[in-house]
């Protein structure tokens, strides 16, 4: 059993077997009691009520994304990467034209790897994980290389937590007449997204991020004409978005067994998002969480990887102290005993660790996180907080 902590707020897990920590990660994340309770009922995937629920989710996602009636929502079983590969396999050109991946972290690089694996022509611009993507990074390439027809971008790159300026980038891409595809995995539901206004053609996200559901499915919001034109273009039977959409439209059912519990929990999460005041209010809560965490860590002496105008409210990355007594695994386990599970930062170029500020948590939890970190560092006898080289 995880030790009781005077700092962390622990809560009981299934059958009372242990006290579960807050998940301070970019997903899976801590969910509300209402979302957890929604998981307790069993649903038949072909039942009328379940099909109504799926339709409701699809409509609500389109509304949240600022879509007009020219867009469709296709839900796909599996994690966010499943939907990313489904979108790239359905929409990235297979010949003559190519896709530009603009990357400033591991998840942009992963998209390029998917295109390479499925044999789709592409170019890649790779920037450092501390570099915010700007139009100047790809403007000239789009002007000179007319074979580039599609652009793929990460909105919030959780390698470091950096947020790329979506509207500004969309204006540049669309001014040059390209298809704009966005990985909004860790931003959608909190950071502003308006697909119709910004003329975003494709957006991908998943159930266990800012909408605060559980893992199990992902979804693609896409211009209908682009979706229709993708018939027979997918490299995969399972990941064929056109066929998945056709089935959902015809019968309201998935082609393959849907993650019923995750979908029911997600509907509850959508209702709670609305009750909170929508994405704008959720972003404010996340930003308060981030502000408290960053202020507390700076006071401790631990340096953030990003400057304040680059780090979004989703996940914060901190440089590892150079003190020889600091060992991440020990730090992680000690924090978990205080009721907080954080994330390693091995994806960044510099030695770091990450702490998520999203999920069903508030500023009171973040105050306790900072106190727990102080307690753990003192117990580890870590005094030199300067970052490792």
User: 335-389, pLDDT tens digit by residue?
Assistant: 999 999 998 766 667 889 999 999 999 999 999 999 999 999 999 999 999 998 7
pLDDT of residue 383: 95
Question: What does pLDDT average to over the chain?
Answer: 93
Looking at residue 347, its pLDDT comes to 66
At 9, the pLDDT band (50, 70, 90 cuts) reads very low
Helix, coil or strand: residue 379: helix
CATH number of the 34-274 domain: 3.40.640.10
**pLDDT reading at 2 higher than 50:** no
- Whole-number Å distance between alpha carbons of 289 and 307: 16
pLDDT digits (tens, 9 = 90+) for 287-333: 999 999 999 999 999 999 997 678 899 999 999 999 999 999 999 99
The pLDDT of residue 86 is above 90: yes
Q: Residues spanned by CATH 3.40.640.10 within the chain?
A: 34-274
Domain with CATH 3.90.1150.10 in the chain: 11-30+278-380
194-198-203-206 Cα dihedral, nearest 10 degrees: -30
Rg (CA), the chain: 21
Contact (Cβ atoms closer than 8 angstroms) between residue 218 and residue 79: yes
Taking a C-beta distance cutoff of 8 angstroms, is the pair 205, 196 a contact? no
pLDDT at 293: 97
Distance CA 22, CA 343 (A): 12
Using 50, 70 and 90 to split pLDDT, how confident is the model at 281?
very high
Does residue 10 register a pLDDT over 60? no
- 165 contacts 119 by C-beta, under 8 angstroms: no
pLDDT, position 274:
97
Pick the CATH number of 11-30+278-380 from 3.40.50.300, 3.40.190.10, 3.90.1150.10, 3.40.50.10470: 3.90.1150.10
Quote the distance between the C-alpha of residue 188 and its chain's center: 7
> Using an 8 Å Cβ cutoff, are 102 and 153 in contact?
yes
Q: pLDDT digits over 347-362, tens only?
A: 667 889 999 999 999 9
CA dist 61 to 89, 219, 226, 270, Å?
22, 9, 18, 9
- CA-nearest of 356, 347, 312 to 106 is 347
66 pLDDT higher than 70: yes
Q: Does the pLDDT at position 6 exceed 60? A: no
Phi, psi of 343 (to 5 degrees): -130, 140
Q: What pLDDT is attached to residue 346?
A: 66
Query: Model confidence at 19, in pLDDT bands (50, 70, 90)?
Result: low
The pLDDT value recorded for residue 343 is 87
Q: Which residues pair with 324 in a beta bridge?
A: none
**In this prediction, what percent of the chain has a pLDDT beyond 70?**
94
Q: How many CB atoms lie within 10 A of CB 389?
A: 6
Q: Tens digits of per-residue pLDDT, 207-240?
A: 999 999 999 999 999 999 999 999 999 999 999 9
């Amino acid at each position: 059993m995880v030790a009781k902590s005077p700092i962390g707020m622990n809560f009981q897990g299934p059958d009372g077997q242990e006290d579960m920590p807050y998940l301070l990660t970019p997903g899976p994340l801590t969910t509300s009691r209402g979302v957890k309770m929604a998981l307790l009922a069993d649903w038949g995937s072909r039942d009328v009520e379940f099909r109504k629920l799926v339709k409701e989710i699809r409509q609500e996602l389109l509304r949240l994304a600022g879509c007009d009636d020219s867009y469709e929502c296709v839900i796909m079983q599996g994690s966010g990467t499943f939907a990313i590969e489904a979108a790239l396999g359905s929409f990235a050109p297979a010949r003559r034209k190519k896709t530009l991946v603009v990357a400033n972290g591991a998840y942009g690089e992963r998209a390029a790897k998917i295109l390479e694996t499925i044999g789709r022509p592409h170019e890649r611009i790779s920037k450092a994980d501390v570099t915010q993507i700007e139009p100047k990074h790809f403007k000239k390439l789009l002007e000179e290389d007319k074979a580039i027809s599609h652009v793929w971008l990460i909105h919030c790159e959780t390698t470091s937590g950096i947020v790329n300026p979506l509207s500004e980038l969309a204006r540049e891409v669309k001014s040059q007449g390209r298809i704009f595809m966005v990985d909004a995995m860790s931003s959608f539901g909190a950071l502003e997204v308006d697909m119709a206004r910004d003329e975003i053609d494709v957006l991908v996200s998943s159930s266990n991020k800012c909408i605060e559901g559980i893992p199990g499915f992902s979804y693609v919001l896409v211009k209908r004409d682009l979706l229709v034109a993708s018939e027979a273009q997918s490299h995969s039977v399972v990941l064929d978005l056109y066929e998945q959409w056709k089935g959902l439209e015809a019968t309201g059912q998935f082609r393959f067994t849907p993650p019923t519990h995750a979908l029911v929990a997600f509907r509850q999460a959508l209702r709670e998002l609305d009750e909170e005041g929508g994405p704008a209010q959720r972003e404010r809560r996340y930003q308060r969480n981030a502000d408290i965490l960053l202020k507390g860590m700076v006071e401790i002496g631990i340096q953030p990887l990003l400057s304040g105008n680059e780090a979004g409210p989703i996940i914060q990355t901190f440089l590892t102290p150079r003190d020889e007594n600091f060992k991440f695994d020990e730090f992680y386990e000690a924090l978990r005993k205080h009721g907080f599970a954080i994330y390693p930062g091995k994806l960044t170029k510099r030695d770091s660790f990450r702490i998520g500020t999203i999920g069903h948590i508030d500023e009171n939890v973040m105050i306790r996180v900072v106190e727990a970190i102080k307690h753990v560092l003192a117990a580890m006898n870590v005094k030199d907080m300067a970052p490792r080289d």
